[in-house]
Structure 1
Amino acid sequence: MTEGPPPGSVRTLLSVNFNHDGAAVLLTDGRIRAFVTTERLSRLKKHPGLREEDLDELLDQAGADIGDIDHVLLCNLHLMDSPDIATLHGSDLKDTWLEFWVNQRNDTVLLRGRRIPCTVNPDHHLLHAAAAFYTSPFPSGVSVAIDPTGCRAFLGRDNRLYPLRRDFDSWFDANYGYAHVAHHLFGSAIVGAGKVMGLAPYGAPRDGAHAPLPEVSSFAELVALADADPVVVESDGRPLNARLAYYIQRGLEEQVDRLFTELEPLCRRNGYEPTICLSGGTALNAPATEKAFTRSGFTGLHLHPACGDDGTALGAALWYWHDVLGQPRREHANAELMYGRRDHGRPAVERALRALAGALHVEVTEDHAGRAAELVEQGAVVGWFEGAAEIGPRALGHRSIVADPRDPHMRDRLNTRVKHRERFRPFAPSVLNEHAAEWFGIRDSPFMLRAAAARRDGIPAAVHVDNTARIQTVERADNPAFHRLVERFAHRTGVPMVVNTSLNTRGHPIVETPEEALGTLRESGLTHLVFPGYVIAKEAPK
C-alpha cells in the first residue's frame, strides 16, 4: 500500500486525466460531487486533459472552490499520448490545458496560486481497475483492465486492490491487434475501434460455422489472411474488408475467453468471490466480454460506464480514497455513476428556445415522456434531452435519440439521415429491465455494456446483422422520465423497448446544452426534440 497522509486529514480530491478522453472528478468523503468530460464542453472529440473553463465548471457543479481541495491526482500526464489526437484536430491540444506547476519531487502542484499535495501518474491500469471495482456491488473479486497498452488484473477485497503478478501480455495481444486494424480500416485507433466491432459480423462465414483461426505472427500476416478471402463492404465510397474485422474480433473473443477461464478458478482458490469487474477501452467490446462471461464460472459482472480513459480520473480518486487513505467503501447508485451533475433545467431550455423564436414549432406538454412515446410509435425520430449528460460514451436516456425498433428501415434512416455515419453501424435497444430476460436472456445492464442475442422477432432496428444487441436495461429508480417513455411505448405497441443512440451526429461529441440539442435538430434528420415540458418540431407555426 502507498503510504499516505493521516486518515481524516484529506476529504476532497481533485483528479484529472490528461490522456485522450480528458476528464476530471471532484470526490468528497468518497462521494462523486462533480464530473466533467472535456470534449462535451470543448466540442472536440477525445479532447485530452482539462482546460481552465472545465475546472471552473467542475468547481461550480460541486459548489466548491480551489481552497476546498486537499489533494490532486494528475493522471496519464505525458505518458499515454496518442497520435490520433493530432490527426483528428491538427494538434495535440496540450496548449489548451489549464496552467499548473509540479515540483521536482512530484508531490506538490501549484494550481491557481495554491500549493496542494499531489500524486503524479499512478499506474494506468490500476486506475482503470479501481474505477470498476470500487463502483461495483461486490465485496471481493477480480478487476481486469484491458486496453491497447496492455492487460492487467487485480484482486480486490473491501477497500484494497492487489496486483496479480502474471504476464498476460506474453499471449494477450488482440488488444494491440484491434488498434492496428482500426487504424488500417478507419485511420484512427481511438475512434475506429467501435467501427471495427460493428463491421465484424459482416465478415463472418455465411454458413455460420466458425473454423479455428489460423495462426498469424504479425499484423501483416493477419491482413494477408483477410485479403485472401475478402468480404467487401462499401462505406463512404471506400471498400472495407469486413473479413479483417471479423478475424480480429474472433481473436479478441478467444483471448478474453481464455483470460476469464484462467481468472475464475484463481479467485476461488484464493478465497475471493467469483465476480469480475472490467475496464479499459477493450471492455467496451460487449460481444467479446459477454461471451466470455457466459462461458465462465463467474457469477457477477460489473463495468463502470466510463470504461475508457475518462474513467481513470474517477479510478484515481477512488484508489487514493480507499487504498491510500484506507477509507471504507460505500455504495454507488446507478444514477450516480451514469449521469453527471450539471442539470440544464427549464430556464436554460427556455432561453435557448427564445433565441430561436419563430423558427421552430414549440408544443407545451405536461407529459413529455408520453408524448415522445406517441411520436416514436408514429414513426418519428425523436431527440431526448433531460437532466445532466451521461458519463462515458453511451447514451443512457439523458442525451438520446429514440426511435421505433419495429421499423425495418429505421437503422438505415438513422445512419444516413440523422447520424450521418457508416451504414453498417448498429443501434442499441433500451429495454424495460423486467422484460429484458424475455427478449434477450439477460437483465441488469443499465450502462449499455452487455450484449446478447435477441430471443424474439419483430425488432429489426434494434438488432445487428448477427441478431445480437448491446442492450441498456431501464429501471424507474435510475431515470423515471425515460422509464416512463419506454413504458408508454410498450403500452402502445406491446414492445418494451425503444432504439436508443446518442444525441449527436458524426464527428461531434454528445450534446451538452439545450442550444447544441436544438442545433442537432435543425441540422439532422431528427423530426422532433423533447425537453421536459416541451416538444419541438422543425416546422415553424403557419
Structure 2
Amino acid sequence: MNGRAPAVLLSINFNHDGAAVVLREGEIAGFVCTERYSRFKKHPGLREADLDELLDQAGITVADVDHVLLCNLHNMDSPDIRALHGSDLKDTWLEFWVNQRNDRVRLRGRDIPCTVNPDHHLIHAAAAYYTSPFDSAVAVAIDPLGCRAFLGEGGMLIPLDRGYDSWFTANIAYTYAAEHLFGSSIVGAGKVMGLAPFGQVDGGAAVDWKGMTTFQDLLAFASTAPTTVEVAGKPLNATLAYYVQLGLEHQLAAVFSDLEEVCRASGIRPNLCLSGGTALNAVANQLCFTRSGFERLHLHPACGDDGTAIGAALWYWHHVLRKPRVQHSPADLMYGRRTYTEQAVAAAVRSAVDADPSLLVTVTGDHAGVAADLVADGATVGWFDGAAEVGPRALGHRSIVADPRSPTVRDHLNSRVKFREHFRPFAPAVLNEHAAEWFGLADSPFMLRACPVLRPDVPAITHVDGTSRIQTVTAEDNGSFHTLLTRFAARTGVPLVVNTSLNTRGTPIDETPADALNTLLTTGLDALAFPGVVVRKAGRP
C-alpha cells in the first residue's frame, strides 16, 4: 500500500446469497450477486468469473485492492444449498489462501491484508445503518442465527447486550415452519408470510406464547383444527403459518419497545435501522414499526446475506478506518453497476428471433409508453432497463408488470408465468406522489413494508388480508419506470402496476438480455420491453 491508507476494499460473502462488493473511497464501485450469473439460486461464495465481473465494473484489478474482507467463511453453511442443487457448490469458489493469523489473503498472486469473519449480525446491521440518512440510530439485525442490536453514532456502531437470544425464538420457528411446509427454510420463508393470512384465527392475539417452548408445541397447537390451503394435492397448514407470523410480530414488537427505552436512556435519536433475513418480512416490519415509538425507519434492499458483503465493507471503512459517512440515494442502494448496451440487447434479440421467427420486434424511442399501453390493454410485460436490482425484490429494472385492476391476472401470473403456488400475492409499484392516498404510506422504495390497500378495484395486488407490499417510485430513482407508471395512470386513472420479479419459480432474477428473452419464450409472458425495443409474441395484446 506504500504507506497510504486503504482506499479500495473488496468484500466477499461466502454464505448462501453469495455476493461481493468493491468499495472505493467509501462509494460502491461494483457489486455482484453470484446467483445472477451462475443461475443457481442462493449460490454461496464467489467464482473466478464473478470476481472478473466485479473488477470490471469497478474499473480496477486485484493490484488495486488494499484490503479484503472474507465474510461468513465456512462458519454458517446451509444444508438447503445441497438440497436445492445436489452440492454445496464450494467447488465453484475462486482460488484463495488465508494465512494462519487470518490477516493476509493470497488472491491471484497477491498477498493482501484481510479481515476474516467480522461478526455476522454486526455486518448485517452495518448495511442498514451506514446506508441510512441517520447520524444517530439503533440498528437491529435478525435472522435464524439470532437477534442482535447496535447503537449507531456517526461512524461508530457499538453492540448492545440485551439478551434477546434468550427469548427471541420466532426467527427459529419461522425456519422450522418453512421447512415443514415447503421443504426449505431459505426459499420457503417468504411463502410462509404469504400463506399466513389464509390461516387467521379469531382471538389469535390472545395466545399464551409462554406455554410454547418448542416448535413441536406450536405445531401441535396449530394442528388441532387447522385451516388448510391445497397446493399440488398437498394440504398446507395455513394456521401454522398464521401463528408463526403472529409470534414474529409479537416478539419483534417487544424488541422495538425495549430499544425505545435504550434510545431514551442513551440520547440516541428514535431512528430504526432493520436488517437480516427476517427484515424481508414486510408485514412484520411495518406493523411493528407503526406500533412503536420510533419516528423513522431505514432498511437496505439486500437484507439477506448478500447484504453482508456491503455491510462489512462499510463497517471497515467507517468504523475501523474512521472515514466520514457518505450519503447514499435509494438508486445507489437498490441497483447494481452492470448495464447492457444497445448492441448487447440487439444481439440477444436477434438470437431470440432466430429461435422463434414469429416474435414481433418494434424499435421505439418510447419503450415506457409502449409498455404502459400494452399493460393497459391486458398484456403481461417483462421490463428490462438498467442494472439489475440489489437484493431479492424486483424494483423496476428486472420486473414483470401487469394491470392491477384485473381479477384474473394474479392467477395467470402464478400459473402461467411464474409457475408458483396459487396463494402467493403480488406487489405493486406505485408513483410515490400518489402512494399515500392509495396505501397510507410514501417513501418505501425497496418493497420491504406492507400496508393496507385503501382504494378498491385493484384485486391483483390486494392480498387476502387487504394488504400489499409496496414499492414507491420516483422520477429521480428510476425515470423510465416512473414514466411507465405515469403513462399507465393517464390511460387508466390508476397510478400503479403489478410488479413482480423477472424470473420463474426456482430461478434467480434475470441478469442478462438473453436471460430475459428466455423467460419470454418459455412462459406465458406476452411481451418484453428493453430501452429502444419491445419484443412481442404474435397474437398477444
TM-score, reference length from structure 1 = 0.97
Tell me the equivalent position of 1:464. Answer: 463
**Retained in 1: the 8 A contact 2:367–2:531?**
yes
Counterpart CA distance in 2 for 1:113 and 1:53 is 16
Change (3 A) 1:46 1:151: same
**Retained in 1: the 8 A contact 2:352–2:517?**
no
Does residue 530 of structure 2 align to residue 531 of structure 1? Answer: yes
Say which of 255, 261, 265 aligns to 1:265: 261
Say which of 312, 319, 341 aligns to 1:323: 319
Identity of paired residues, percent?
66
Tell me the equivalent position of 2:433. Answer: 434
Residue 7 of structure 1, CA deviation: 9.7
Q: Secondary structure of 2:70's match? A: strand
Residue 6 of structure 1, CA deviation: 11
Residue ranges of structure 1 left out of the alignment (5+ in a row): none
Residue 8 of structure 1, CA deviation: 5.1
Counterpart CA distance in 1 for 2:475 and 2:68 is 36
Does residue 73 of structure 2 align to residue 77 of structure 1? Answer: yes
Tell me the equivalent position of 1:522. Answer: 521
Change (3 A) 1:529 1:153: same
Map Cα deviations across residues 230-260 of structure 1 (whole Å, 9 max, x no partner). Answer: 1110112211010000010000000001111
Tell me the equivalent position of 2:207. Answer: 212
Map Cα deviations across residues 78-121 of structure 1 (whole Å, 9 max, x no partner). Answer: 01100000000001100000000000000000000000000000
**Retained in 2: the 8 A contact 1:361–1:540?**
no
Tell me the equivalent position of 2:8. Answer: 12
Change (3 A) 1:69 1:460: same
Residue 381 of structure 1, CA deviation: 0.2
Tell me the equivalent position of 2:510. Answer: 511
Tell me the equivalent position of 2:112. Answer: 116
**Retained in 1: the 8 A contact 2:427–2:499?**
yes
Tell me the equivalent position of 2:496. Answer: 497
**Retained in 2: the 8 A contact 1:134–1:329?**
yes
Tell me the equivalent position of 1:131. Answer: 127
Q: Secondary structure of 1:417's match? A: helix
Say which of 152, 162, 173 aligns to 2:158: 162
Residue 332 of structure 1, CA deviation: 0.5
**Retained in 2: the 8 A contact 1:359–1:540?**
no
Q: Secondary structure of 1:228's match? A: coil
Please tell me the root mean square deviation across aligned C-alpha atoms, in Å. Answer: 1.4
Does residue 179 of structure 2 align to residue 183 of structure 1? Answer: yes
Tell me the equivalent position of 1:62. Answer: 58
Map Cα deviations across residues 124-158 of structure 1 (whole Å, 9 max, x no partner). Answer: 00000000000000111100000000000000011
Residue 363 of structure 1, CA deviation: 0.8
Q: Secondary structure of 1:431's match? A: strand
Counterpart CA distance in 2 for 1:144 and 1:164 is 10
Tell me the equivalent position of 1:141. Answer: 137
Tell me the equivalent position of 1:290. Answer: 286
Tell me the equivalent position of 1:380. Answer: 379
Change (3 A) 1:138 1:72: same
Counterpart CA distance in 2 for 1:131 and 1:229 is 42
Q: Secondary structure of 1:154's match? A: strand
TM-score, reference length from structure 2 = 0.97
Residue 450 of structure 1, CA deviation: 0.8
Q: Secondary structure of 2:511's match? A: coil
Counterpart CA distance in 1 for 2:172 and 2:352 is 48
Letter of the 1:212 counterpart: V
Residue ranges of structure 2 left out of the alignment (5+ in a row): none
**Retained in 2: the 8 A contact 1:489–1:495?**
yes
Does residue 296 of structure 2 align to residue 300 of structure 1? Answer: yes
Tell me the equivalent position of 1:423. Answer: 422
Residue 268 of structure 1, CA deviation: 2.0
Tell me the equivalent position of 2:199. Answer: 203
Letter of the 1:504 counterpart: N
Q: Secondary structure of 1:499's match? A: strand
Tell me the equivalent position of 2:333. Answer: 337
Counterpart CA distance in 1 for 2:411 and 2:212 is 36
Counterpart CA distance in 2 for 1:52 and 1:394 is 26
Change (3 A) 1:457 1:112: same
**Retained in 1: the 8 A contact 2:285–2:448?**
no
**Retained in 2: the 8 A contact 1:305–1:394?**
yes
Map Cα deviations across residues 405-441 of structure 1 (whole Å, 9 max, x no partner). Answer: 0011111111001100000000001011111111111
Tell me the equivalent position of 1:473. Answer: 472
Change (3 A) 1:305 1:8: farther
Say which of 97, 105, 128 aligns to 1:101: 97
Q: Secondary structure of 2:186's match? A: helix
Counterpart CA distance in 2 for 1:250 and 1:137 is 31
Counterpart CA distance in 1 for 2:208 and 2:500 is 33
Counterpart CA distance in 2 for 1:264 and 1:359 is 61
Q: Secondary structure of 1:328's match? A: coil
Following superposition of structure 1 onto structure 2, how do residues 33-52 of structure 1 map, counting pairs within 5 Å?
33-52=29-48
**Retained in 2: the 8 A contact 1:178–1:248?**
yes
Counterpart CA distance in 1 for 2:279 and 2:464 is 22
Residue 359 of structure 1, CA deviation: 4.3
Counterpart CA distance in 2 for 1:489 and 1:404 is 9
Letter of the 2:478 counterpart: N
Letter of the 1:239 counterpart: P
Counterpart CA distance in 2 for 1:229 and 1:34 is 51
Tell me the equivalent position of 1:363. Answer: 362
Counterpart CA distance in 1 for 2:14 and 2:335 is 21
Q: Secondary structure of 2:187's match? A: helix
Letter of the 1:109 counterpart: V
**Retained in 2: the 8 A contact 1:445–1:471?**
yes
Does residue 484 of structure 2 align to residue 485 of structure 1? Answer: yes
Change (3 A) 1:152 1:127: same
Tell me the equivalent position of 1:88. Answer: 84
**Retained in 2: the 8 A contact 1:182–1:196?**
yes
